[in-house]
Amino acid sequence: MKVALFVPCYVDQFYPQVAIATLEVLEKQGVTVVYPTRQTCCGQPMANSGFEHLATGCNENFVESFADCDYIVSPSGSCVLHIKDHLHVDGAEEKTASIRQRTYELVEFLTDVLQVKTLTSRFPHRVGLHQSCHGQRGLKLSQMSELVAPPFSKTGQLLGLVEGLELVQLNRADECCGFGGTFCVAEEAVSVKMGKDRVADHQAHGAAFITGNDMSCLMHLDGILRRQNSPTKIVHVAEILNAW
């Protein structure tokens, strides 16, 4: 099985430790991982702002980078959802369709494809799980509170395998953090207020760490936590799964 690692641009630039953790978690499962070095970005920043049509070059580069591998795995629900929903290159419909199908977020790859039942990781802390919307409602990594349907959580399932980890309950299990791509600067006031409220929910329940499947949401929450000088820290789920 050949797995290509897709590292979102901002993770590459600002959170290399998350990408390293992802790589190592996969390798610990006995997977051969390659990292196509031509890759840049999924194109979401342009597309979510209405400029899907400007992302052509970016999309072509993505297709070239990931054309030949069995799976594409990424530590970001949002970027994966964008690829799955919107990757398009004129004249390469077959290739893109196949890529869209082969792309997985890290957690769902572990639970659904590798069917991981045990982990050798330890993280003895109280942890709050931030359900990023694109992973949750888009990729269905966990059940959403809006639906009348049986609960499940793929991320929760994996965190349950981590030694010493204590998952805290939240008042609002799946409220958006307010990051939202360019929304975080274009609608600064609402974005920050949403982030502050999310952080407060975790803090009120004694979370020492806030984790999640998307570094973008966590980057936003981290910016708020650090401005508050809060002792609460953020940590990507890949880092927890890779911790010992």
Site for another protein in 49-88 (CB under 8 A): 49-58, 60-61
Secondary structure, 3-state, 116-154: CCCCCCECCCEEEEECCHHHHHHCCCECCCCCCCCCCEH
Min dist. Cβ of residue 128 to another protein (A) = 17
CA–CA dist 34, 23 (Å, integer): 9
Min dist. Cβ of residue 162 to another protein (A) = 23
Footprint (CB under 8 A) of another protein, residues 131-190: 133-134, 137-138, 144-149, 172, 174-176, 178-190
Sign of CA dihedral 234, 225, 14, 60: positive
Q: Measured from the CB atom, is 115 or 185 closer to another protein? A: 185
Min dist. Cβ of residue 24 to another protein (A) = 11
Q: Do 241 and 116 touch, CB atoms closer than 8 A?
A: no
- Type of residue at 67: A
Q: Measured from the CB atom, is 105 or 174 closer to another protein? A: 174
The label of the residue with tokens 């530590």 reads 75
**From the list 3, 25, 26, 33, which residue makes contact with another protein (rule: CB under 8 A)?**
33
204 binds another protein (CB under 8 A): no
Helix (H) or strand (E) holding 174: none
Per DSSP, 155 falls in state H
Q: Which stretch binds another protein (CB under 8 A): 88-96, 104-112, 150-158, 216-224?
A: 216-224
